[in-house]
Every structure is written in C-alpha cells, then in structure tokens.
Amino acid sequence: MNRFDVVVIGAGIAGASIAAEIAPHLSVLLAEAEDMPGYHTTGRSAAFREECYGGPDVVPLTLASGDYLRDGGFLTPRAGLYIAREGQEAALAAFMHQFRDAGVTIQPLGRAQLEARLPGVRGEWTQALLQPNCADIDVGGLHQHYLALAKRGGAELRVRHRLEAAEREGDAWRLHFGAAGEVRADVVVNAAGAWADPVASACGVAPLGITPYRRTVAQLRTDPPAPAELPLVIDLEGAFYFRPEHGKLWLSPHDETPSEPCDAAPEELDIALAIDRFEQVVDWRIAAVERKWAGLRSFAPDRLPVYGYDAEVTGFFWFAGQGGYGIQTAPAAARLAAQLLTHTPRHGMTAELDVKLYTPARFAPVMV
Ligand SMILES: Cc1cc2nc3c(=O)[nH]c(=O)nc-3n(C[C@H](O)[C@H](O)[C@H](O)COP(=O)(O)OP(=O)(O)OC[C@H]3O[C@@H](n4cnc5c(N)ncnc54)[C@H](O)[C@@H]3O)c2cc1C
C-alpha cells in the first residue's frame, strides 16, 4: 500500500495550491474524484479579483495574494464599479466606512463619471464607487501553475480517486478510494470544496456546517458589444454583476441558492432574472445568450474560510469554505495553510494575517 506524509482531497484551486506549497517538503498525494482537476467550482468562476469581496476579514487574504498573482502574470487590470440608485447614499457611506481601514482603494463617483465608465446606463443609477485596483484573473493559468509546481515538487496527482472512507490506524490514516485502492497517510487535507463536510464525515470528523450555494453566470452577446475597458459592474444591493470577456458579457444574478454538493447546473429562472435586472441597468440590447453555467460557492456559517487542524481529530486539516473568493485569495491561503500544516513560523506574504479568524476551532461541531 502506498504511504504518503499528506493526502490532499480535491484538486481544485485549493487542493492544487496547498499541494504546491507543501510538495517540496513532504510526500504528497493529490487525490481528485473527477476525470480532471478543476471540473467543479474552480472551472466555473467569474475569474475576477475584487478587493472588497467577502468583507473586511477576507480583504487581508486578497491583498496578501496580490503580488504573487501580479508577478506571476495572472492578472489583467480591470476596475470594479459598485453602482447605486438615487437615495442609496447611506448604503454607499456604510460600504466605504466598512472598508475604511482595510487598505483598499475606493473612490466615490457621481452620475457623469458613472456614465463615462458605463455607457448607456439608465437614469436612475446616479452614483457609484470605483475600485481601481481590481483585475481579471487567468484562473486556468493559475490552476495549471499550481498543479505544475506540485508535480515539480514531487507530488503525485491521481484522478478518478474519490475518497469514500478513512479511519485512523495506529498513528496514521488508512484511506479508501473504492476500486482505485487504498493508501496510508499521516495527514488528510480536506480541500474538497462543496464536499468538505461529507469528506469530514467520511473520515469520522464532525462537519462544520460548510454549505454549498449555487451561483449562475450567463455569457451574452449584446448590442452594442461590451466594451473591453468596461469595469466589473456590481449592484450595491447585490442583485447582479457583469463584466466583459473577449467582446462578450458575463452576467450573474448574484444568486445564492443552497444546494447539495453536486454537478451544479443553471436554472432558466436565474438566467431570466439576471437578464431582467441587466435590462434595468443599461439600454443595450441582448442579442443572444451564448452559454450559461453554474457552480457551487461553499461557505462556513460565518462566511470566512476554514484553515487549520481539526480541534478534535488528529491529523485532519481543513482547507475549505473558500466561498466566492477562493481564486483571488489562493496564494496567501495556500501559503498560510502550508505553514500551519508544517508548524512553520509565518513570514512573508502571510506575516500580517490573523490566523485566529480562520481556525476551525472557532466552531462547535455540528451535531448530525
Ligand atoms: C459562479 C462563480 C463565480 C465565482 N467567481 C469568483 C471570482 O470571480 N473570484 C474568486 O476568487 N472566486 C470566485 N468564485 C469562487 C471560487 O471559484 C471558489 O472559491 C474556488 O474555486 C473553490 O475552490 P476549491 O478547490 O475549494 O473547490 P473545487 O474547485 O470545487 O474543488 C474541490 C474538488 O474536490 C473534489 N472532491 C470532492 N469530494 C471528493 C472526494 N471525496 N474525493 C476526492 N476528490 C473530491 C471535487 O471533485 C473538486 O474537484 C466563484 C464561484 C462561482 C461558482
């Protein structure tokens, strides 16, 4: 039977990035249930780095990841633009207040500046907040980069390896992958995205209440075509966002429907909702819905990610609950998790992070 220091369950961005960080130091198996890594949430994102996304306690992870993403060539600058109607001054002020000490750049814009950024915007939208330091992310490139780094470090990737059960055997784990066989490992890293709680249960670990929520995106052809320099436009009230992608428009109704872990598919109603909301923003004509997809964003009960050893069960490490920001936070999250996993003092991009915010020990286990 194969024996590894660490088995990472799930080869999305979370599993790939943590495997890359630890592979030079430990023997690592990266086990992925599907035929290819990135099939689930990682392959279905909106591919954007929005500095405020996830709230003030996620911002440090996003900012700490910035240089890694920029230096690696994974970012293409694009502003973020929160738009608001007349009468929403208090909500705009509250948003700015919430992020006042977060280290992000936010600039209020009036109607004329909003019109310059979003041609054809309807009259009821009178104000906005501009975030100049946001960017598109090359998600495929980043994911491949981490998979390659993991491989170079000596990690082994095995696809069609779905963890079915695991138990402690002496001072290690025995992991069962059905017909694909068994392995032994000192540590299990749970990077299973929407399946984080079921994977914990399969290991005899109490789940933390990590819940998957479906989010939908449609790719539209519009008249006029979406200008290349258009910002990512987000509704301040959270009813939609859209951004250009190679002359097309990616539009989401910002839906958040609780779901079982599954191969998520878009619902027609969510697409219709998105289009209806979009038509209330600009006077553009929608020529075609070219493509649509949905993915699962998984959140812990307090909507912060979970990084660290389980409080009860030896050798079980959580790297889950990446919500709607798992790509933009991946470099700092993976570095931090690797340091926690290997009991290495924190330095460099993780030095300023408050690890207590993300520890699994903050939750009482969910009774099932
Ligand atoms: C529509 C949408 C838009 C988004 N937009 C953005 C964005 O603009 N910016 C951003 O930063 N983030 C965004 N996100 C969030 C981001 O995509 C996620 O946070 C991130 O992809 C989560 O990565 P993951 O590796 O945890 O999950 P996944 O990519 O789902 O990977 C988990 C893997 O675990 C595997 N697995 C599960 N169970 C087992 C098992 N028992 N055995 C073996 N393998 C198993 C699965 O097959 C899967 O491949 C978006 C998400 C969605 C859905």
CA atoms of 318 and 300, how far apart (whole Å): 11
Mean pLDDT of 354-364: 94
Q: Is 48 in the pocket of ligand 1 (CB under 6 A)?
A: yes
Tell me the per-residue pLDDT of 310-348, one tens digit each, with 9 for 90 and over. Answer: 999 999 999 999 999 999 999 999 999 999 999 999 999
**Positive or negative: CA dihedral 133, 138, 143, 149:** negative
- Specify whether 127 is located in the same domain as 221: yes
Give the position of tokens 């079982």: 260
Pocket of ligand 1, candidates 7, 8, 9, 45: which has the most ligand atoms within 8 Å of its Cβ, to mutate?
Answer: 45
20 lies in some domain: yes
Q: Is 295 in the pocket of ligand 1 (CB under 6 A)?
A: yes
Q: What's the confidence (pLDDT) of residue 151?
A: 98
Could you please report the per-residue DSSP string of 301-319? TTSS-EEEE-SSSTTEEEE
Tell me the per-residue pLDDT of 186-201, one tens digit each, with 9 for 90 and over. Answer: 999 999 999 999 999 9
Range of the domain at 22: 3-43+139-209+303-362
Task: Give the count of domains, the chain.
Answer: 2
Could you tell me what percentage of the chain is helix, strand and coil, using 3-state DSSP and rounding each to the nearest 5?
30, 30, 40
Q: Is 321 in the pocket of ligand 1 (CB under 6 A)?
A: no
Tell me the per-residue pLDDT of 61-87, one tens digit each, with 9 for 90 and over. Answer: 999 999 999 999 999 999 999 999 999
CA atoms of 316 and 28, how far apart (whole Å): 14
**What residue's CA is closest to ligand 1, atom 31?**
12
Give the position of tokens 């750049």: 105
- Specify whether 160 is located in the same domain as 197: yes
- Specify whether 295 is located in the same domain as 311: no
- Specify whether 120 is located in the same domain as 241: yes
Residue 194 alpha carbon, nearest atom of ligand 1: 30
Res 171 pLDDT > 90: yes
Res 23 pLDDT > 70: yes
Res 368 pLDDT > 80: no
**What residue's CA is closest to ligand 1, atom 25?**
12
Confidence of residue 257 (pLDDT cuts 50, 70, 90): very high
- Specify whether 167 is located in the same domain as 295: no
Q: Is 61 in the pocket of ligand 1 (CB under 6 A)?
A: no
* The domain boundary residue, chosen from 299, 324, 354: 299
Contact 128, 117 (CB under 8 A): yes
Pocket of ligand 1, candidates 36, 41, 177: which has the most ligand atoms within 8 Å of its Cβ, to mutate?
Answer: 41
Q: What's the confidence (pLDDT) of residue 366?
A: 56
To the nearest 10°, the Cα dihedral for 183, 186, 190, 196? 70
Q: Is 188 in the pocket of ligand 1 (CB under 6 A)?
A: no
26 lies in some domain: yes
- Specify whether 155 is located in the same domain as 220: no
CATH value at residue 320: 3.50.50.60
229 lies in some domain: yes
Q: Give distance in angstroms: CA of 19 to centre of ligand 1.
A: 15
Residue 264 alpha carbon, nearest atom of ligand 1: 53
**Residue of 243, 357, 240 lying closest to 305 (CA atoms):** 357
Largest CA distance in the chain: 68
- Specify whether 21 is located in the same domain as 163: yes
Tell me the per-residue pLDDT of 211-243, one tens digit each, with 9 for 90 and over. Answer: 999 999 999 999 999 999 999 999 999 999 999
Q: Is 322 in the pocket of ligand 1 (CB under 6 A)?
A: yes
Q: What's the confidence (pLDDT) of residue 364?
A: 72
Res 264 pLDDT > 90: yes
- Specify whether 203 is located in the same domain as 215: no
- Specify whether 98 is located in the same domain as 161: no
